[in-house]
């Protein structure tokens, strides 16, 4: 848990959401969603002090560790994620059913300064002027490309992407420190052009990720995992990546930590629970590296280091060893936000708290469930 006497090192901007997971037209689960929920699970788990700016509607169904702004005139952003058993329809189809109010530049305090900023909108809530304000407040701003290129069908809310060059955000590219995209999103970025202006990290699922910068590129090794649900994997990657930078890691080592948390997330349904023993092992490793390299973790510069550390492979091995403990779970040994997914039909539609989950008397999915190909 983040201690309250620490100054926030990160500013995280993006809305919480309600997520509904649907497979073959049957609702599997409901969960707290939004990139900020996955990122905060990582940053809180690693005790990285951060400030969050998020909005929800008065219908927001989950308790969270970082209180969002509640907007009485808006509903909480709601996504339906469709999956299919058919081989040809393995990829997720995502639809935005409702959208909360965007985050305005005036919602960000002008008095605070941060080493790192994270623009992680998922439902169109990040505005160009909001990103500009973040750039003014933070030494280094990291942006998830989905915050910039997602658009939503007027009829059914289906999510699609547009080229970054077509958006009002493109002019800000030279002021961004790191741009993160999935391999599916990368074609909308023009990586070869973007890398001239900022670091670009492309996540490749089971193949890890690739780091691009003006003078080079590096492939960063993955952590093998049986995928259960890809939702939030990129967000957890970004949380781990930033946690690494906060502790003074080079970009390749920070990306390795990102791959690690992404792999933990895809192995679970909805918002992940992180084994406390894994988190402690990661903290110990970060502390050890801080002792080996004096000056960490109080990093004040905004210069990214792209050379792999001499013990990069050792770091990978240490994280792999930490992950092994998840195969032998112990009761009450998990860290998570309060909004773990609930299986539909549990407790006859009423979900009761067990210390990790929220009371949901009414379902958050309001509209009739439509087929993913409608």
CA distance 125 to 3: 29
Do the Cβ atoms of 175 and 156 come closer than 8 Å?
no
Helix (H, G, I), strand (E, B) or coil at 164: helix
Do the Cβ atoms of 150 and 161 come closer than 8 Å?
yes
| Residue recorded with tokens 């690690």 | 260
- Look at the alpha carbons of 79, 124, 210, 9 in this order and tell me if their dihedral is positive or negative: negative
CA distance 351 to 125: 29
Rg (CA), the chain: 19
229 catalytic residue (yes or no) = no
Helix (H, G, I), strand (E, B) or coil at 143: strand
Do the Cβ atoms of 199 and 177 come closer than 8 Å?
yes
Phi, psi of 238 (to 5 degrees): -65, -35
Distance of CA 72 to the CA centre of its chain: 26
CA distance 320 to 141: 29
Nearest one of 82, 83, 58, 84 to 69, comparing CA atoms: 58
CA distance 357 to 32: 10
CA distance 246 to 316: 18
The catalytically annotated residue of 44, 235, 253, 275 is 235
Nearest one of 142, 192, 146, 152 to 172, comparing CA atoms: 142
Instruction: Give the residue numbers marked as catalytic.
Output: 235
């Amino acid at each position: 848990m983040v201690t309250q006497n620490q100054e926030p090192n990160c500013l995280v901007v993006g809305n919480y959401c309600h997520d509904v997971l649907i497979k073959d037209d049957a609702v599997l689960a409901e969960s707290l969603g939004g990139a900020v929920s996955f990122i905060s699970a990582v940053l809180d788990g690693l005790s990285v002090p951060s400030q969050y700016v998020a909005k929800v509607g008065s219908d927001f169904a989950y308790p969270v560790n970082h209180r969002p702004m509640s907007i009485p005139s808006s509903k909480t952003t709601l996504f339906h994620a469709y999956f299919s058993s058919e081989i040809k329809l393995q990829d997720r189809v995502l639809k935005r059913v409702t959208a909360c109010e965007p985050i305005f530049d005036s919602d960000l305090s002008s008095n605070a300064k941060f080493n790192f900023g994270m623009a992680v909108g998922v439902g169109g809530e990040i505005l160009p002027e909001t990103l500009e304000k973040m750039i003014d407040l933070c030494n280094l701003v990291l942006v998830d490309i989905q915050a910039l290129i997602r658009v939503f069908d007027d009829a059914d809310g289906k999510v699609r992407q547009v080229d970054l060059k077509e958006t009002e955000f493109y002019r800000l590219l030279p002021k961004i420190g790191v741009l993160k995209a999935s391999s599916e999103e990368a074609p909308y970025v023009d990586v070869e052009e973007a890398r001239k202006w900022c670091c670009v990290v492309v996540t490749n699922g089971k193949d890890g990720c690739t780091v691009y910068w003006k003078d080079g590129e590096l492939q960063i090794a993955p952590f093998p995992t049986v995928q259960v649900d890809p939702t939030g994997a990129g967000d957890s990657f970004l949380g781990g990546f930033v946690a690494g930078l906060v502790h003074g890691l080079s970009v390749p080592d920070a990306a390795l930590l990102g791959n690690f948390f992404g792999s933990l997330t895809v192995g679970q349904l909805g918002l992940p629970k992180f084994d406390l023993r894994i988190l402690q092992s990661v903290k110990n490793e970060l502390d050890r590296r801080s002792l080996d390299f004096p000056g960490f973790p109080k990093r004040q510069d905004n210069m990214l280091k792209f050379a792999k550390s001499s013990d990069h492979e050792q770091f990978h091995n240490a994280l792999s060893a930490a992950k092994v403990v998840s195969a032998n779970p112990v009761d009450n040994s998990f860290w998570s936000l309060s909004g773990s997914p609930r299986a539909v039909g549990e407790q006859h539609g009423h979900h009761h708290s067990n210390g990790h989950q929220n009371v949901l008397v009414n379902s958050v999915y309001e509209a009739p469930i439509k087929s993913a190909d409608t």
